[in-house]
Amino acid sequence: MNFYGHLVLALARVEGGQAQLLGSCFPVGPKHLATALHVVAPNDDGLVAFLPAISGISDYQDTSQNGWRGSPVKIAAVDAIRDICILEVPDDWTFALGHSLTGTDVISLGDEVHVYGYPHMDFGRKVMTIQRSHVGAKVLIANHGVKVKHAVINTQLRPGQSGGPVFDVATGTLCALVTGNYAPDVRGTLLVSGVDPVTLHQTGHAVSAEYIKDMVP
């Protein structure tokens, strides 16, 4: 199994000396990261990224370590229609990519995919987690008259996974970016332990990675 967890970073916003965890991100070039736009607001005031929490598939992650050290990142490009944000990393950071960016065109229904991210950030937990799942559907979602390619992933996704990468197992390519669970447009929903019950279903959405290519400076 190809493992890409060593490339998945965590995002947080530092306010008043405290870091509030936001979501996941991943490198898309030597000096740039991609995440979901809704993760960062968009606002890069106090925005920091933490280097990957894991370097190998057999590593343990110490949940008792809360004194994380992040480095500032800045917004380089945004796509509000497709919910994508490109971040520029510090001068002393450089990434070497061992994979290519494709898109949802390379996957079909039933294909196995791996989803990487930090699912329990809303509870202050920074643990990089991999989920094995399958493509349940490929859909076009209209936003302001623009139809955007998405893959429906057969697993429930958590807020901290937003902005994380989805890899196609067959090709080893990065095919999509996690945007979150489907939530119908209904009024009067109630949050239970920070979770909207209408999102408690076994499907999540990920936008095609093909849109990222033209955004990287």
Segment 130-181, tens digit of pLDDT = 999 999 999 999 999 999 999 999 998 888 999 999 999 999 999 999 998 8
Angle at 123 between CA 119 and CA 124, to 5 degrees: 90
DSSP code at position 89 = P
Taking the CA atoms of the chain, what radius of gyration do you get in angstroms?
A: 16
CATH class of the domain at 5-88 = mainly beta
Q: Please give the mean pLDDT across all residues of the chain.
A: 90
> Which one-letter amino acid corresponds to residue 60?
Y
Q: Phi and psi for 175 in degrees, rounded to 5?
A: -105, -20
Four-residue CA torsion sign, 109, 114, 47, 160: positive
Residue numbers in the chain where pLDDT is lower than 50: 186, 188, 191-193
Q: Find tokens 């390379």 and name the residue.
A: 106
Q: Which two tokens stand for residue 100?
A: 């290519």
Q: What is the pLDDT of residue 185?
A: 58
User: How is domain 104-213 classified at the architecture level of CATH?
Assistant: Beta Barrel (2.40)
Which residues make up the CATH 2.40.10.10 domain(s) of the chain? Answer: 5-88, 104-213
